[in-house]
């Protein structure tokens, strides 16, 4: 597999535009700078999923606790409306059964709620879907400000929409995990059309929709066709490193019909070994990632 044979130094070179750095401080500085320069919001994500040592679980919990503390005390993020949110992946919190991830996440969610830092529990492959949705709905029921992610490629997602109601928060993505045909579609155009349909359904249910894609046409259609129904319950989300500055400005300024907040997903690591492992996983899960990275690097250089 290509992701395994690419040398580590080359993977790190590929990863640099997409990873804030190898410290929490670097991620905080980048989030503050992007907001000051262009009004971009942020969600911070520690790279460290798929752990295999119990000590890694506790290290990840401690890292998220430090992240929450920093976000709630740093003067640059004093305004709760523009304070970065945090995202986590459940596989970063268990070395055995998936259910073992729940207690660490409950601890982090409680800490985040006390500090006024919104949390998103990211979605991984289909094996995690039931656990993730069930856990998030449990946390919401106890009063925590927690959202999650739904992937439009999965057949089950249309039914899962019905589990989310007014006041909840959902990030909609097409998803990058390869899934069998009995579980998911493979037509990316249909995945993106579903983004629009499902966003409309969620807005009708009173849900806050975080519309996450880099597809310019689909984002423009979202701003023109879907978001006007509830512009106060929408935002666009994009990955750090993908060159969309002009589109981000148009979305924020209302050039497409309504003004939408734009949030950057900002991953950071506690060492470049984690960042390298992150990009290798992305390349393995979606081989087109390498060509996307190359194309974006060429755009930056032009």
Q: How far apart are CA 122 and CA 257, in angstroms?
A: 30
Where do runs of H (alpha helix) occur along the chain? 2-5, 8-15, 24-38, 54-73, 102-115, 129-141, 157-160, 188-204, 216-221, 245-253, 272-285, 288-301
The answer on pLDDT for 102 being more than 80 is: yes
Residue 166, class by beta-carbon neighbours within 10 Å (0-12 exposed, 13-18 middle, 19+ buried)? exposed
Determine how β-strand 85-88 pairs with β-strand 41-46.
parallel
Range 168-189 average pLDDT = 96
Rg, C-alpha atoms of the chain: 18
212 vs 234: CA distance, rounded Å: 11
Q: What is the pLDDT of residue 242?
A: 87
Q: Which residues of 63-81 are buried (b: 16+ CB within 10 A; e: fewer)?
A: bbeebbebbbeeebbeeee
Q: Quote the percentage of the chain above a pLDDT of 90.
A: 76
The CATH code of domain 20-268 reads 3.20.20.220
Q: With b meaning 16 or more CB within 10 Å and e meaning fewer, what string describes 11-40?
A: beebbeebbbbbebeebbebbbebbeeeeb
The answer to whether the beta carbons of residues 17 and 300 sit under 8 Å apart is yes
Mean pLDDT across the stretch 65-94?
Answer: 97
- Amino acid 270: pLDDT: 83
Whole-number pLDDT of residue 9: 57
pTM of the predicted protein model: 0.89
Band of residue 243 on the pLDDT scale cut at 50, 70, 90: confident
- Residues with catalytic annotation? 122, 171
Give residue 48's pLDDT: 79
Query: 18-67 pLDDT, tens per residue?
Result: 888 889 999 999 999 999 999 999 999 999 777 888 999 999 999 999 99
64 vs 88: CA distance, rounded Å: 9
Band (238; pLDDT cuts 50, 70, 90): very high
pLDDT tens digit sequence for 283-295: 665 555 555 555 5
Domain limits, the chain: 20-268
pLDDT digits (tens, 9 = 90+) for 140-149: 999 999 999 9
Stretch 7-11: mean pLDDT: 58
What mean pLDDT is reported for the chain? 89
């Amino acid at each position: 597999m290509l992701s395994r044979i690419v040398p580590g130094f080359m993977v790190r070179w590929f990863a640099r535009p997409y990873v804030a750095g190898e410290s929490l401080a670097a991620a905080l500085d980048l989030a503050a700078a992007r907001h000051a320069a262009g009004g971009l919001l942020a969600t911070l994500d520690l790279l460290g999923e798929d752990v295999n040592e119990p000590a890694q679980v506790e290290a990840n919990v401690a890292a998220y606790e430090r992240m929450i503390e920093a976000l709630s005390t740093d003067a640059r993020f004093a305004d709760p409306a523009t304070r970065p949110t945090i995202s986590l992946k459940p596989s970063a919190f268990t070395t055995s059964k998936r259910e073992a991830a729940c207690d660490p996440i409950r601890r982090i969610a409680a800490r985040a709620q006390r500090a006024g830092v919104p949390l998103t529990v990211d979605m991984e492959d289909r094996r995690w879907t039931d656990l993730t949705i069930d856990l998030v709905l449990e946390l919401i029921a106890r009063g925590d400000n927690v959202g999650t992610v739904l992937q439009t490629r999965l057949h089950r997602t249309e039914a899962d929409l019905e589990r989310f109601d007014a006041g909840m928060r959902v990030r909609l993505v097409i998803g990058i995990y390869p899934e069998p045909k009995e579980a998911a579609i493979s037509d990316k155009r249909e995945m993106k059309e579903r983004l629009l349909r499902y966003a409309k359904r969620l807005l009708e249910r009173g849900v806050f929709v975080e519309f996450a894609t880099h597809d310019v046409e689909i984002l423009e259609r979202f701003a023109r066709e879907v978001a006007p129904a509830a512009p106060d319950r929408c935002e666009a989300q994009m990955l750090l490193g993908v060159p969309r500055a002009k589109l981000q400005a148009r979305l924020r300024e209302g050039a497409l019909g309504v003004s939408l907040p734009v949030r950057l997903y900002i991953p950071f690591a506690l060492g470049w070994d984690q960042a390298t492992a992150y990009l290798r996983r992305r390349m393995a899960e979606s081989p087109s990632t390498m060509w996307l990275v190359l194309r974006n690097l060429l755009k930056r250089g032009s």
